[in-house]
């Protein structure tokens, strides 16, 4: 049995992740209404208990999981710890006495409760004392409706407003002005503004190294020389190669030894991670996590596809796919500054080539766009059943790298 679960972060005003909403399907070819709400929730709870570790999908943060009236009345939320779970009451659930009693009971047990895709009705006022958050779809809810909701909940200081489907920086700013304190969407993966930002010398050195390692025949002597003239870069290389992530039997004491032991594939990953983390120093940590997860997910798909001589190109494509957001520039401008191969640039700028297909599959999966993911999996002649494990592996690998780098 395979469980297809993707995650979407919920961030606070400081763009810090406070939890992840988990989105489930029974397979990449199963989209609603083929899998109903009750079945989706039931299998996600089952999977979290018996098939995969919830912490692998949420980095130890609370999981926002959708519940129907039926699954709430059956007591499914209490199968998970109150620190693990935030109970989302689906928008299809109608307010009534049975739901109110169940909400009061969950609240008394210490669970946090959220009204999902909220449509304002006066009857919900009976629930407000027990509700912690209300989610509002920013794409379909008018400003007038938001003001009406804010007026209705004004006496209830316990309620936070969550802006859903925040896709642009402008929408994020609007939500801030309207008093929202939590945000869900991919606004952090879009440029905040278009401007010109010159890369400092240390980042240009990293860009140069990324280009050097993109060749199949790596010039080890030249790369060693680049590292040796940068003390900070050398320190980070030695720290990384000596980390627990590699389980080395002997410590590494020279730059050349570190490069040889790591190998070209791991070196590419190290440089990509270091480059992204340096230029994103003022960005949300989730942006680095998403970059790393994309990179590894792209690489694992390329390995499974077995059509590329150097799967490290897939890794670099995934990593660079968010560089426009990291640098607050257009992708065209970013690519002009980085000496990347034409295949990677075609994938990122034109959406062309096999690398672009890998990236589309990854982004479809991470956004729980199962229909597109199913079509792309079929086009690439991949086994759909392999995707959940690859996604999970990418998340675990991301955590290991961040720990190893001390970010």
Paired residues of 5 in beta bridges: 24
Which of the two residues, 15 and 151, has the higher pLDDT score? 151
Q: What are the strands, taking DSSP E only, across 14-101?
A: 17-25, 63-67, 85-89
> In 3D, which of 286, 325, 316, 320 has the Cα closest to residue 407?
286
pLDDT of residue 356: 96
Query: According to DSSP H, which parts of 245-330 are helical?
Result: 255-279, 285-305, 312-320, 323-327
**What is the pLDDT, as a whole number, of residue 325?**
80
Which of 371, 370, 318, 375 has the alpha carbon at shortest distance from 347? Answer: 318
Structure tokens belonging to residue 35: 């899998």
**pLDDT greater than 60 at residue 36:** no
Angle (nearest 5°) at CA 125 between 144 and 40: 90
* Mean pLDDT value across residues 153-175: 91
pLDDT at 195 over 80: no
Task: Answer yes or no: is pLDDT of 60 > 50.
Answer: yes
Calculate ∠ Cα 365-368-369, nearest 5°.
Answer: 85
More confident: 38 or 72: 72
Report the relative pairing of strands 85-89 and 160-164 from DSSP bridges. Answer: unpaired
pLDDT at 176: 93
β-pairing, 112-115 with 85-89? Answer: parallel
CB 216 within 8 A of CB 353: no
Among the listed residues 167, 198, 207, the one whose alpha carbon sits nearest the alpha carbon of residue 183: 167
Average pLDDT on 343-365 reads 94
What is the set of domains in the chain, with CATH numbers?
4-189 (3.20.20.450), 201-405 (1.10.3210.10)
Give the residue-averaged pLDDT of 50-73.
78
Average pLDDT over residues 201-230: 70
Distance separating alpha carbons of residues 178 and 403, to the nearest angstrom: 37
pLDDT tens for 322-337 read 888 877 778 888 788 7
Q: What is the mean pLDDT of residues 279-298?
A: 80
Task: Out of 202-216, 293-307, 372-386, pick the least confident.
Answer: 202-216
Q: Give whole-number Cα distances, 35 to 74, 133, 281, 293, 385, in Å.
A: 19, 27, 41, 27, 17
At 183 the pLDDT is 94
Q: Which residue has the tokens 């802006």?
A: 163
pLDDT at 394: 92
To the nearest 10 degrees (0 to 180), the angle between helices 354-366 and 285-305 is: 130
Mean pLDDT along residues 179-197: 72
Mean confidence (pLDDT) of the chain: 80
What value does the mean pLDDT take over residues 163-180? 90
C-beta of residue 184 within 8 angstroms of C-beta of residue 8:
yes
pLDDT for position 18: 93
Say if residue 51's pLDDT is above 50. Answer: no
């Amino acid at each position: 049995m395979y469980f297809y679960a993707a995650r979407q972060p919920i961030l606070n005003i400081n763009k810090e992740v406070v939890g992840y909403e988990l989105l489930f399907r029974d397979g990449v070819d199963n989209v609603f209404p083929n899998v109903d709400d009750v079945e989706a929730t039931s299998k996600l709870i089952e999977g979290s208990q018996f098939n995969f570790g919830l912490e692998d999908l949420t980095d130890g943060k609370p999981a926002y999981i959708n519940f129907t009236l039926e699954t709430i009345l059956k007591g499914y939320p209490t199968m998970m710890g109150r620190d693990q779970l935030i109970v989302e009451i689906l928008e299809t659930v109608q307010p009534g006495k049975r739901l109110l009693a169940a909400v009061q009971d969950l609240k008394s047990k210490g669970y946090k409760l959220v009204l999902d895709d909220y449509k304002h009705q006066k009857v919900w006022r009976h629930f407000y004392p027990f509700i912690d958050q209300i989610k509002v779809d920013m794409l379909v809810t008018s400003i007038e409706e938001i003001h009406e909701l804010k007026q209705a909940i004004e006496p209830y200081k316990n309620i936070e407003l969550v802006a859903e489907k925040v896709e642009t920086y402008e929408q994020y700013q609007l939500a801030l002005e309207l008093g929202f304190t939590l945000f869900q969407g991919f606004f952090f993966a879009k440029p905040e503004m278009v401007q010109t930002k010159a890369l400092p010398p240390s980042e240009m050195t990293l860009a140069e190294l990324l280009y050097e390692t993109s060749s199949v025949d790596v010039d080890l002597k030249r790369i060693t020389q680049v590292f040796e003239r940068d003390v900070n870069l050398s320190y980070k290389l030695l720290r990384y190669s000596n980390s627990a992530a590699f389980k080395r039997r002997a410590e590494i004491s020279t730059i050349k030894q570190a490069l040889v032991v790591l190998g070209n594939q791991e070196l590419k990953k190290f440089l990509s991670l270091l480059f992204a983390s340096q230029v994103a120093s003022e960005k949300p940590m989730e942006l680095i996590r998403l970059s790393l997860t994309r990179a590894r997910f792209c690489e694992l798909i390329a390995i499974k596809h077995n059509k590329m001589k150097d799967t490290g190109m897939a890794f670099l494509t995934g990593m660079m796919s968010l560089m426009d957001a990291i640098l607050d520039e257009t992708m065209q401008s970013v690519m002009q500054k980085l000496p990347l191969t034409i295949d990677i640039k075609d994938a990122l700028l034109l959406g062309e080539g096999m690398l672009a297909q890998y990236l589309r599959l990854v982004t479809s999966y991470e956004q729980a766009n199962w229909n597109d993911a199913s079509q792309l999996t079929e086009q690439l002649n991949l086994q759909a059943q392999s995707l959940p494990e690859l996604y999970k592996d990418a998340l675990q690998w991301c955590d290991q790298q961040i720990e190893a780098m001390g970010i």
